[in-house]
């Protein structure tokens, strides 16, 4: 029986220092049936050169080059060229365990699932420390009901696009929103809602690197507030149109409306259009302003 092919999509921006470990862990996978689509997204360092060096050594790596457009646009390029039966995303500054692909594709096939989600561990650059969240003796695979998953969308392992294996057909109607700051959180629920079965591989297979320049370490801005609110609004619409309960994201949305309202008030930006929108939403939700 022919083994399914996996397309690995990597958006790359100024990741020259991290590419060797990222690509080395990919090309040393125990599961050999894959292609790698690396999209150089306007890097100003030697990332493109490193990618071409690796491509010259292994024909499974395809390199695409574009002007800086952001990771969402880069991932869309990968999706447009992917030929695998499954899709997985790896960030260029992260890396994976040697059995990452094998574990996820095996569990997907065994359960006839469209999505497999893996656990992760963190590498903190500032302290040179690895932080794991699950002991080896606790490794297991569980079927994850969609309702249960949607209740846990505040957890990183469920909201990010990395660390997961998706059946490629799920992307026939879905692409990432380019130029949007929370493209993962906006896109991943759309994929979950299409799946009939999802498995959760409770094993640390993906290493997520924390750096000084990571998005998580950046301060709040008006643009981030706008992007975040648009993301939650889109999540609510997706759930509503699919007949799911919207109370949880609605509650979260209300909480953040109050938080962001204070952001504008503290800065005396009461004439800002986004502040007015926040006040309108609070009024529509019947909240006391």
Predicted pLDDT of residue 201: 95
- How confident is the model at residue 217, as a pLDDT? 43
Task: Give the alpha-carbon dihedral of 63, 69, 70, 76, to 10 degrees.
Answer: -60
- Long-range interactions of 157-160: CB distance < 8 A, separation 24+: 157/117, 157/118, 157/119, 157/120, 158/117, 158/188, 159/184, 159/185, 159/188, 160/184, 160/188
pLDDT value, residue 25: 97
- Measured CA to CA in angstroms, residue 107 lies from 63, 75, 195 at distances of 29, 24, 15
Q: CA 243 → CA 116, 250, 282, distances in Å?
A: 23, 15, 24
pLDDT at 215: 46
The domains of the chain, with CATH numbers, are: 6-213 (3.90.550.10), 219-284 (no CATH)
pTM of the model: 0.93
Q: Would you write out the chain's pLDDT as a tens digit for each of its 289 residues?
A: 689 999 999 999 999 999 999 999 999 999 999 999 999 999 999 999 999 999 999 999 999 999 999 999 999 999 999 999 999 999 999 999 999 999 999 999 999 999 999 999 888 877 877 777 776 777 889 999 998 998 888 888 899 999 999 999 999 999 999 988 899 999 999 999 999 999 999 999 999 998 765 444 458 899 999 999 999 999 999 999 999 999 988 999 999 999 999 999 999 999 999 999 999 999 999 876 5
Are residues 86 and 4 in contact, defined by beta-carbon separation less than 8 angstroms?
A: yes
List, in order, residues 6 or more apart from 189 with CB less than 8 Å away: 150, 153, 235, 238, 239
Q: Which of 88, 80, 95, 73 is nearest to 13 (CA)?
A: 73
CA 25-28-29 angle, to 5 degrees, is 90
In this structure, what token pair is assigned to residue 142?
Answer: 């569980």
- Residue for token digits 């060096």? 53
Quote the pLDDT of residue 160. Answer: 94
Closest CA to 97 of 40, 200, 25, 27: 25
- Residue 93, C-beta contacts closer than 8 angstroms, at least 6 positions apart: 15, 18, 22, 209, 211
């Amino acid at each position: 029986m022919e083994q399914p092919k996996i397309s690995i999509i990597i958006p790359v921006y100024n990741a020259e220092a991290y590419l060797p470990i990222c690509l080395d862990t990919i090309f040393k996978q125990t599961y050999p049936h894959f292609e790698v689509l690396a999209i150089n997204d306007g890097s100003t360092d030697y990332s493109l050169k490193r990618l071409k060096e690796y491509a010259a050594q292994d024909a499974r790596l395809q390199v695409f080059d574009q002007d800086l457009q952001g990771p969402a646009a880069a991932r869309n390029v990968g999706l447009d060229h992917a030929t695998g039966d499954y899709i997985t995303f790896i960030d260029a500054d992260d890396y994976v365990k040697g059995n990452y692909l094998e574990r996820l594709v095996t569990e997907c096939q065994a359960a006839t699932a469209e999505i497999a989600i893996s656990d992760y561990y963190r590498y903190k650059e500032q302290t040179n420390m690895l932080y794991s969240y699950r002991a080896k003796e606790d490794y297991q695979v569980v079927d994850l009901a969609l309702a249960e998953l949607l209740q846990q969308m505040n957890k990183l392992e469920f909201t990010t696009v990395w660390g997961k294996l998706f059946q490629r057909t799920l992307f026939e109607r879905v692409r990432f929103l380019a130029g949007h700051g929370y493209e993962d959180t906006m896109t991943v629920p759309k994929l979950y809602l299409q799946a009939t079965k999802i498995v959760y591989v409770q094993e640390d297979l993906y290493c997520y690197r924390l750096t000084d320049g990571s998005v998580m370490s950046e301060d709040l801005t008006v643009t981030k507030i706008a992007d975040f609110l648009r993301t939650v609004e889109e999540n609510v619409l997706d759930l509503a149109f699919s007949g799911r309960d919207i109370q949880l994201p609605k509650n979260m949305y209300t909480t953040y409306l109050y938080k962001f309202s204070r952001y504008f008030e503290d800065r005396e930006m009461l004439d800002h259009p986004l502040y007015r929108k926040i006040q309108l939403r609070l009024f529509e939700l019947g909240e006391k302003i």
